[in-house]
């Protein structure tokens, strides 16, 4: 497959995303190839650990390839998206629970589906260029691929801020928020990967990194004050605050899908203290399985990706609690991301 290179090198199972011109966006076939490799290597004694990286300087993976999802959804084929998300979430769970060490090397943009591939593994390496974000509310989705669990674990109300505004994290903030573990200069990556391949020993990794700049830590107090309670209360607080932080956050919230943001807040509340990624994925799938037919996903993609008018016409200006509960309600028994 030209979009991905999967092989065994030395003691390492190697997965490299190879479509840099598309910012290594993850197709369904790429996700399934990764999943198949992980299954094969689980019982292969030649593979001591797994290394995941990507070609190019701009992105490790800027998200899922959503063109197919949009095309099918526009034709009323909601089952395609349900299958895509179901199988992608199975991959996310496998990465999080994998018995052998997995190391991801994440440069540039790491968003959406890229978070699902790179940010749940045991060892997560970033560099100066890394920009991690969960931008789903801008296209009518909730933070998914297990990202809701990472957001729920972030310090204070940082997860709510990141999920609702789609703010980007540099390497220091990504480590502080729990999306990464260590910073290694990009120039050192080839030699480090070569040592991992040669030895199969995770001790080749440097210690966790301290001392990086964390701009979001400087506004943590404002985040903790503003991003509490339901969406309408958050908007009201931000409207009453002065300064660049409030203005920027308010602009983002006014741009994104009200239904997706309200559901995101509900999900983060439900995931408080949860450790199991499958609990988060189950909750995410309740939303994404309904997102085309009952949510704002198709309109969000139209406005952001297809027509690029940046003027989505969301279904709601005000979201009721009943509407949030409905889109997060348990799915029919035949619609689940869990494997049979």
Q: Is 309 a catalytic residue?
A: no
pTM across the whole model: 0.96
Q: Is 178 a catalytic residue?
A: no
The answer to whether the beta carbons of residues 302 and 283 sit under 8 Å apart is no
The tens digit of pLDDT for each residue in 87-127 reads 999 999 999 999 999 999 999 999 999 999 999 999 999 99
Residue 52's domain spans which residues? 4-327
Q: Is 113 a catalytic residue?
A: yes
> Does 175 fall in a domain?
yes
User: 150 pLDDT exceeds 60?
Assistant: yes
**Options 13, 63, 64, 300, the catalytic residue:** 64
> Does 303 fall in a domain?
yes
CA distance 226 to 248: 13
> Does 334 fall in a domain?
no
> pLDDT-based confidence at 65, cuts 50/70/90?
confident
**Options 35, 65, 144, 173, the catalytic residue:** 144
> Does 337 fall in a domain?
no
Q: Is 64 a catalytic residue?
A: yes
- The CB density around residue 316, as the number of other CB atoms within 10 Å, is 14
> Does 9 fall in a domain?
yes
> Does 336 fall in a domain?
no
The tens digit of pLDDT for each residue in 27-45 reads 999 999 999 999 999 999 9
User: 1 pLDDT exceeds 60?
Assistant: no
> Does 340 fall in a domain?
no
> Does 214 fall in a domain?
yes
Q: In 3D, which of 128, 129, 127, 102 has the Cα closest to residue 116? A: 102
**Options 88, 127, 136, 197, the catalytic residue:** 136
The tens digit of pLDDT for each residue in 270-323 reads 999 999 999 999 999 999 999 999 999 999 999 998 999 999 999 988 899 999
In this structure, what CATH number is given to the domain that contains residue 210? 3.90.226.10
> pLDDT-based confidence at 338, cuts 50/70/90?
confident
CA distance 263 to 142: 7
pLDDT of residue 211: 84
Domain count, the chain: 1
């Amino acid at each position: 497959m030209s979009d991905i290179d999967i092989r065994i090198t030395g003691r390492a199972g190697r997965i490299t995303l190879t479509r840099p011109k598309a910012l290594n966006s993850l197709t369904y076939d790429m996700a399934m190839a990764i999943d198949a490799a992980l299954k094969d290597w689980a019982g292969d004694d030649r593979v001591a650990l797994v290394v995941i990286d990507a070609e190019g300087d701009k992105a490790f993976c800027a998200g899922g390839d959503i063109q197919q999802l949009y095309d099918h959804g526009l034709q009323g084929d909601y089952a395609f998206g349900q299958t895509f998300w179901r199988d992608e979430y199975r991959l996310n769970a496998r990465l999080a629970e994998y018995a052998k060490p997995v190391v991801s090397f994440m440069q540039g943009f790491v968003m959406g589906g890229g978070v699902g591939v790179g940010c749940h593994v045991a060892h997560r390496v970033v560099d100066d260029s890394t920009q991690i974000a969960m931008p789903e509310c801008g296209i009518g989705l909730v933070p998914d691929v297990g990202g809701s669990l990472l957001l729920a674990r972030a310090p204070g109300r940082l997860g709510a801020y990141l999920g609702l505004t789609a703010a980007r994290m540099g390497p220091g903030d990504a480590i502080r928020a729990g999306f990464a573990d260590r910073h290694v200069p990009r120039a050192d990556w080839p030699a480090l990967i070569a040592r991992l391949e040669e030895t199969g020993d995770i001790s080749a990794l440097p210690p966790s990194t301290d001392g990086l700049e964390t701009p979001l830590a400087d506004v943590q107090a404002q985040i903790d004050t503003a991003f509490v309670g339901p969406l309408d209360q958050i908007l009201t607080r931000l409207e009453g605050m002065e300064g660049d932080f409030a203005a920027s956050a308010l602009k983002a919230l006014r741009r994104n899908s009200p239904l997706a943001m309200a559901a995101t807040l509900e999900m983060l509340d439900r995931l408080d203290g949860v450790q199991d990624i499958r609990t988060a994925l189950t909750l995410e799938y309740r939303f994404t399985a309904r997102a085309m037919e009952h949510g704002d996903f198709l309109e969000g993609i139209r406005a952001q990706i297809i027509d690029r008018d940046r003027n989505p016409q969301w279904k709601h200006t005000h979201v009721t609690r009943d509407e949030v509960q409905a889109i997060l309600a348990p799915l029919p028994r035949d619609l689940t991301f869990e494997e049979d």
